[in-house]
């Protein structure tokens, strides 16, 4: 039997970038849906489940996964055809892109970043390889190759000494024991306030929701549980998140498989997920807690399913209280 199609193991940078795109949602619909596909696949979801999650064809999902395994995150950006023939050779374009993405100080230049003019002037003076290109043509070339002017950001790399072992264990249970595997995590904090989003409206006539500066309802946390084998998401809203609430969620997972056989729960290593009471209960009921590595929560399969909850229940909403908001969350996950 052929091996199921899935993405290769993500690096910390790739996992955090995909998770950031899904959580923020501030990108094009094409990038967002492609990110959802990759993150869901990295979390162990099979192609049919991913296709249903993003309302896409299964072949589209498979093609994207294969493309990611070949070129990485560059597959998120669509490649539009058209335009006049290129004036630079492919090698020249590669050299321009490599130069633009290299820090100037590394090339002996006395400044910390490139501008279009400085880069264009430098390319004309490169010893042994002179590239004459105007500022606007250079800007278009960089844009076409996916190189844009962005703010420098910091990122966290997993420092977990057992990173590879934890990822291998998660991959093993997802591949060989999917019907016994569950994922658990908290979603929140969820406040009661109007939240902007996107919707279809006549041009230049956006829908408007009121602004509020008072937070009198407090917050809640959605404790979500996801069954890998059944492709089922459920959960409950609590005022707090802690060991007591986590244990209650784990007991609901155990009730989903009351046959007494081992159960595997993928979760992050938050202290509320691995207290003494939880470990004792898990050992007694044959529940193995598979913790994701530090700063690698993208490996939790439930993360991909929190994205639609955020986009379709919180964004563009104005819930009046903590009674109506959970109903919207539960109605959304019942459509999952």
Q: What is the pLDDT of residue 152?
A: 81
Mean predicted lDDT score pLDDT of the chain: 85
Spatial separation of the C-alpha atoms in residues 62 and 40, rounded to whole Å: 12
Alpha-carbon gap, residue 327 to 249, rounded angstroms: 18
Distances (CA, A) of 109 to 96, 147, 152: 16, 20, 19
Closest to 221 measured CA to CA, from 183, 189, 268, 184? 189
Q: Binning pLDDT at 50, 70 and 90, where does residue 335 land? A: low
Whole-prediction pTM = 0.59
Confidence of residue 213 (pLDDT cuts 50, 70, 90): low
Tell me the average pLDDT across 146-163: 83
pLDDT value of position 134: 86
> pLDDT tens across 39-77, in order?
999 988 999 999 888 888 899 999 999 999 999 998 998
Residue-level pLDDT at 2: 63
Note whether 22 and 304 are within 8 A (CB). Answer: yes
- pLDDT greater at residue 67 or residue 192: 67
Q: Interhelix angle for 243-256 vs 276-284, to 10°?
A: 10
Which pLDDT does position 83 carry in this prediction? 62
What is the separation of C-alpha 33 from the centre of its chain, rounded to a whole number of angstroms?
10
């Amino acid at each position: 039997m052929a091996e199921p199609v899935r993405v290769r193991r993500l690096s910390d940078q790739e996992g955090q970038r995909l998770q950031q795109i899904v959580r923020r949602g501030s990108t094009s619909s094409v990038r967002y849906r492609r990110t959802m596909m990759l993150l869901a696949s990295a979390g162990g979801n099979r192609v049919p489940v991913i296709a249903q999650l993003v309302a896409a064809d299964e072949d589209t999902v498979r093609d994207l996964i294969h493309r990611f395994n070949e070129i990485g995150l560059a597959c998120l950006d669509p490649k539009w055809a058209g335009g006049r023939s290129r004036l630079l050779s492919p090698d020249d374009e590669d050299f321009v892109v490599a130069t633009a993405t290299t820090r100037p100080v590394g090339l002996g230049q006395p400044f910390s970043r490139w501008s279009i003019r400085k880069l264009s002037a430098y390319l004309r003076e490169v010893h042994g390889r002179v590239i004459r290109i105007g500022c606007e043509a250079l800007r278009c070339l960089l844009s076409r190759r996916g190189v844009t002017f962005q703010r420098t950001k910091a990122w966290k790399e997993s420092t977990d000494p057992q990173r590879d072992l934890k990822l291998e264990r998660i991959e093993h249970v997802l591949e060989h024991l999917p019907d016994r595997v569950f994922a658990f995590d908290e979603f929140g904090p969820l406040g009661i306030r109007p939240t902007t989003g996107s919707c279809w409206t006549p041009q230049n006539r956006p829908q408007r929701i009121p602004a509020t500066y008072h937070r009198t309802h407090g917050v809640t946390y959605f404790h979500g549980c996801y069954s890998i084998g059944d492709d089922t998401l459920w959960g409950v809203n609590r005022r707090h998140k802690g060991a007591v609430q986590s244990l209650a969620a784990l007991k609901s997972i155990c009730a989903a498989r009351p046959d007494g056989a081992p159960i595997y729960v993928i979760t992050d290593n938050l202290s509320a997920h691995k207290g003494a009471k939880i470990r004792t209960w898990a050992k007694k009921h044959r529940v193995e807690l598979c913790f994701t590595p530090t700063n690698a929560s993208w490996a939790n399969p439930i993360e991909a399913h929190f994205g639609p909850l955020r986009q379709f229940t919180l964004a563009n909403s104005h819930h009046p209280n903590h009674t109506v908001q959970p109903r919207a969350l539960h109605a959304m996950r019942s459509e999952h």
